Amino acid sequence: MSAILEVRDLHTQFNTLDGVVRAVDGVSFDVARGETLGIVGESGCGKSVTALSILRLIPPETGRIAQGSIRFEGNELTALSEEAMKSLRGHRISMIFQEPMTSLNPVLTVGTQIAENVVRHMGVPWSAARERAREMLDLVRIADAKRRLDEYPHQLSGGMRQRVMIAMALSCDPQVLIADEPTTALDVTIQAQILDLMIELKEKTGTAIVLITHDLGVVAETTERVVVMYAGRKVEEAPVEALFENPLHPYTRGLMRAIPRLDVEADAAGTRPRLQEIPGLVPILTRPIVGCAFAARCELATDRCRATPPPFVDAGGGHIVACWEVKL
């Protein structure tokens, strides 16, 4: 599998009144052609900022990519002009967000918004772009696509709006689709529909998906490979089966024990097993983190963990983990 997107040693920082926030602090990963990569972690771990960095959407007034490289199809994105980035976004790489209402224009019809993107990137006449928009709505299984083209975002349900976003994102056959919490705002039954749709379309179009989420269930059911992030750093990376069967990083293990499980056999009526807590809080990102970012909350932590950041240990089969104390 050849990598279509290579992120190396990415550092993204923001200036705040409290100091410089190291939101992404040296993250590297590859996305292979046509694969689904999950990036998982809790709030503030840097997963969304990683996505915004790839698309160079970090607001320049407050933030910047301080260091590192992002290569897409051989081009260094960090060095590209804004004009060149604009022709890339929504075309070669596109993105969908958690709340589609905030990324759809409320005063334009759905058809116009999709067609606009197609005209801009494919240089086709308006009529052909409209036709493409209709095709895309069919593809994301919006019933009665021809009529829906002339509707405004507020006339659609939340699930339909997310379908429209997906239609728009895929309208120019991107190589990579970045989906940031695409189903978090949706109801359970609608979430299942959208996840199924994304996987089906990925298989149909060959677009690689980077799925960013806090939800381990969503990761388990939709991705092939997973990057686990904590406090701006990657702590573990593995094929999805390996990660869930044999999580190696103490943080990943903690996360898995902390979630209430739906799939575990029913316990005897009335007994509620305790959830494992991860004690403490995430570190404050304005202060430089010496050593392992998780050390303060980790029961295995030693003086070495607190002093020196752990290197990645290769557990084989594409499973790597950043931990001094991991036993293989």
Site residues for other proteins per CB under 8 A: 42-43, 157, 159-160, 187-193, 195-196, 214-222, 240-241, 244, 254-256, 258-263, 266-270, 272, 274-278, 281
Instruction: Give the nearest distance from C-beta 152 to other proteins in angstroms.
Output: 17
Q: Return the ∠ at Cα 46 (arms to 64 and 36), rounded to 5°.
A: 110
Sequence-distant (6+) residues with CB within 8 A of 60 are none
Helix (H) or strand (E) holding 326: none
The nearer residue to other proteins, 79 or 266, going by C-beta atoms, is: 266
Instruction: Give the nearest distance from C-beta 260 to other proteins in angstroms.
Output: 4
Instruction: Give the nearest distance from C-beta 105 to other proteins in angstroms.
Output: 22
Instruction: Give the nearest distance from C-beta 183 to other proteins in angstroms.
Output: 9
Give the sign of the dihedral formed by CA 141, CA 146, CA 147, CA 151: positive
Instruction: Give the nearest distance from C-beta 178 to other proteins in angstroms.
Output: 20
Residue/partner pairs of 12-19 with CB below 8 Å, 24 or more apart: 12/46, 12/49, 12/50, 12/52, 12/53, 12/58, 12/63, 12/64, 12/65, 12/66, 13/63, 13/64, 13/66, 14/62, 14/63, 15/62, 15/63, 16/62, 16/286, 18/286, 19/286, 19/287
The nearer residue to other proteins, 102 or 189, going by C-beta atoms, is: 189
The nearer residue to other proteins, 159 or 291, going by C-beta atoms, is: 159
Instruction: Give the nearest distance from C-beta 294 to other proteins in angstroms.
Output: 11
Strand order through the sheet with 63-72: 19-32, 3-16, 63-72, 75-76
The nearer residue to other proteins, 76 or 241, going by C-beta atoms, is: 241
Instruction: Give the nearest distance from C-beta 17 to other proteins in angstroms.
Output: 14
The nearer residue to other proteins, 50 or 117, going by C-beta atoms, is: 50
Phi/psi for 316 (5° steps) reads 90, 155
CA distances in angstroms from 232 to 11, 154, 194, 223, listed in the order given? 9, 36, 28, 21
CA distance 166 to 177: 9
The nearer residue to other proteins, 13 or 213, going by C-beta atoms, is: 213
CA distance 291 to 307: 4
Instruction: Give the nearest distance from C-beta 163 to other proteins in angstroms.
Output: 11
The nearer residue to other proteins, 274 or 327, going by C-beta atoms, is: 274
Q: Helix (H) and strand (E) counts for the chain?
A: 12, 12
The nearer residue to other proteins, 27 or 242, going by C-beta atoms, is: 242
